[in-house]
Structure 1
Amino acid sequence: MRFVRIPAGEFLMGSEESPEALAAAFPALPRERFLKLTDEGPVHRVRITKPFLMGRHEVTVGQFRRFLQASGYVPESIADGTGGYGWRKDYDPATSPRGDAFEGRLPRYSWADPGFAQTDDHPVVNITWNDAVALAEWLSKTEGRRYRLPTEAEWEYACRAGTRTRYASGDDPRSLARIANVFDADSAALWPRWQAMALPHHDGHAFTAPVGSFAPNAWGLYDMHGNAWEWVADWHGEDYYAQSPLDDPQGPPKPAGGGVKVRRGGSWHTWAFYARSSFRNWNAPDTRYTLVGMRLVRED
């Protein structure tokens, strides 16, 4: 894995955009979507007190395979026998109770088979938060250096790379064409019911792209927007930003009775609105999905 040194520094975390501004920028989305973003605020100052090393790319299929071969670890989708999610050409989302874009969970799908072709250079998907932590812990033990998932604050700091715009590439969703594999005309051809949500360009990738296929951000990180959602270390807290410490926030404690882990950055199937630098999504730690992968941090 190749890593980029991220400097210590300060930034403003979160978004203060009004529902009206977002509705104007994303007219295809229903307005109620913009009323469900309270966890993106308040905007607050965060200080990252120590430099760290972040993976230049998302963890790839080949890297994950080598981890499994060397460690003997069995991913949760296989260990629990329930599998993951995947794309099937003749699957109809209308047959799913939730209208899900993908078929699953089914044992036929896993990190090794999300239903579409991947090479060793594509980002691994269909992995759980627990799988991601297992890789980091094994690599730490093997190399004698600490590898881990980034905190949510580290992730947004690195994604923004000094910007305060919606994306590292600017405010215009169309600017993602240069830096991100998101839901565009190529993907929309397979999901015509969501054509209105697609960016108009063709990037040549209907599914995941090999890591590093698009331009990096100003700090040399690739695919911080799009390609695969990335697990981070933090539990999700709806009102955490209002009480977040200034220095190196670690997220809220685990909620009583369970909780959900944050994932960031969007994916190849994500509408531009959800690929914003400030957008927060979350799932249970044992969730595995054909859009979700990981990126590692190595402590300096």
Structure 2
Amino acid sequence: ANEKDSFDDERPQHQVTVPPFFMGKYPVTQAQWRAVASRTDLKVEKDLDPDPSYFKDPPKPPFLRGASDSPPFEGGARGGSPTRWDRPVEQVNWYDAIEFCARLSKLTVREYRLPSEAEWEYACRAGTTTAFHFGETITGELANYNASKTYADEPKGEYREETTPVGQFSPNAFGLYDMHGNVWEWCADTWHDNYDGAPRDGSVWTENGYDNHSSLRGGSWYIDPFNCRSASRYDDYRRDYSGDYGFRVVCGAGRTL
């Protein structure tokens, strides 16, 4: 509640009990997006651009240590240097992300969806209570954000000005990568200005919110460090998209369609 650079929309601080769920190890990549978005036979509500992302060039070396040894997704790059397809998909709005989840659910006969805000923060923190899952501050060697700005007493770092391939930085204690920075991640909830009346069971909160707005979490490559904190919240119109808006998927433990 007294965290440095925290905002009123992060309050009141409250405890939530979150039922078991699975979350994507990485934000959805450009390759994963293309594999699903190009399947017009799976269409549920809307058409999807198979290649919406702004960042289409090969990622810049050097590639950081601490990256995953395994390929970031099945059917994608197998060894060698990361490609543009290993970058997170961006320039997708909330409705695009919902359609992706619906198509993926049809394809796999398993219920995939966007996380609730409570699920997202639980997954990001991975049992921590500090500002970031790796501690009280952040550096450019731990995440992709605007590291030319500082949060605490850490040295300034590189502002990369672009997305980085998923899995380039060390994961949190739950084995999740890129929870801080890289791309903002859409959540399922309707936007609320604070947590007054928020569910305590980790469910998606839709009542009495801003119907055409949803929340984004985690910060991005473009964002100052205080907006990359585990508790930090942002919102935008569901129809809006940006070169730093992405998402990751969740599914309930043991749930099938």
TM-score interval for Structure 1 and Structure 2 normalised by the shorter chain: 0.7 to 0.9
Task: Provide Cα deviations, 1:196-247, integer angstroms capped at 9, x if missing partner.
Answer: 89961238x43111000000001100000000000010011113x1212322
Q: Residue 38 of structure 1 corresponds to which residue in structure 2?
A: 8
Q: Which amino acid aligns with 1:170?
A: G
Residue 17 of structure 1 pairs with residue 2 of structure 2: yes
Counterpart Cα distance in 1 of 2:91 and 2:147: 21
Q: State which of 153, 156, 177 in structure 2 corresponds to 1:200.
A: 156
Q: Residue 85 of structure 1 corresponds to which residue in structure 2?
A: none
Instruction: Note closer, same or farther for the CA distance 1:231–1:291 as it changes in structure 2 (3 Å cut).
Output: same
Q: Residue 174 of structure 2 corresponds to which residue in structure 1?
A: 219
Write the mapping of 1:134-213 to structure 2, written as runs, cut at 5 A: 134-174=99-139, 177-185=140-148, 200-202=156-158, 205-213=160-168
Counterpart Cα distance in 1 of 2:229 and 2:218: 7
Residue 250 of structure 1 pairs with residue 219 of structure 2: no
Q: Which amino acid aligns with 2:237?
A: A
Instruction: Note closer, same or farther for the CA distance 1:131–1:219 as it changes in structure 2 (3 Å cut).
Output: same
Task: Provide Cα deviations, 1:19-78, integer angstroms capped at 9, x if missing partner.
Answer: xx43xxxxxxxxxxx6xx211001001001x21110000000111111122236533xx6
Q: State which of 77, 96, 120 in structure 2 corresponds to 1:131.
A: 96
Q: Which amino acid aligns with 1:238?
A: D
* Count of residues paired in the alignment: 223
Q: State which of 42, 47, 52 in structure 2 corresponds to 1:111.
A: 52
Contact 1:46 1:249 in 2 (8 A): no
Instruction: Note closer, same or farther for the CA distance 1:67–1:196 as it changes in structure 2 (3 Å cut).
Output: same
Q: Which has the higher helix share?
A: 1
Contact 1:261 1:284 in 2 (8 A): yes
Contact 1:178 1:215 in 2 (8 A): no
Q: State which of 272, 276, 279 in structure 1 corresponds to 2:229.
A: 276
Q: Which amino acid aligns with 1:202?
A: E
Contact 1:228 1:266 in 2 (8 A): yes
The structure with the larger Rg is 1
Identity %: 36
Contact 1:235 1:260 in 2 (8 A): yes
Residue 234 of structure 1 pairs with residue 189 of structure 2: yes
Instruction: Note closer, same or farther for the CA distance 1:254–1:145 as it changes in structure 2 (3 Å cut).
Output: farther
Counterpart Cα distance in 2 of 1:55 and 1:153: 15
The Cα shift of 1:298 comes to: 1.8
Segments of structure 1 that go 5 or more residues without pairing to the other structure are 1-15, 23-33, 79-109, 186-194
Counterpart Cα distance in 2 of 1:162 and 1:113: 34
Task: Provide Cα deviations, 1:59-107, integer angstroms capped at 9, x if missing partner.
Answer: 00111111122236533xx6xxxxxxxxxxxxxxxxxxxxxxxxxxxxx
Counterpart Cα distance in 1 of 2:58 and 2:190: 32
The Cα shift of 1:250 comes to: 1.9
Instruction: Note closer, same or farther for the CA distance 1:196–1:250 as it changes in structure 2 (3 Å cut).
Output: closer
Counterpart Cα distance in 2 of 1:184 and 1:262: 23
Write the mapping of 1:81-120 to structure 2, written as runs, cut at 5 A: 111-114=52-55, 119-120=84-85
The Cα shift of 1:179 comes to: 2.8
Question: TM-score, length-normalised on structure 1?
Answer: 0.68
Q: Residue 75 of structure 2 corresponds to which residue in structure 1?
A: none
The Cα shift of 1:167 comes to: 0.4
Question: TM-score, length-normalised on structure 2?
Answer: 0.79
Contact 1:183 1:199 in 2 (8 A): no
RMSD: 2.5
Instruction: Note closer, same or farther for the CA distance 1:196–1:265 as it changes in structure 2 (3 Å cut).
Output: closer
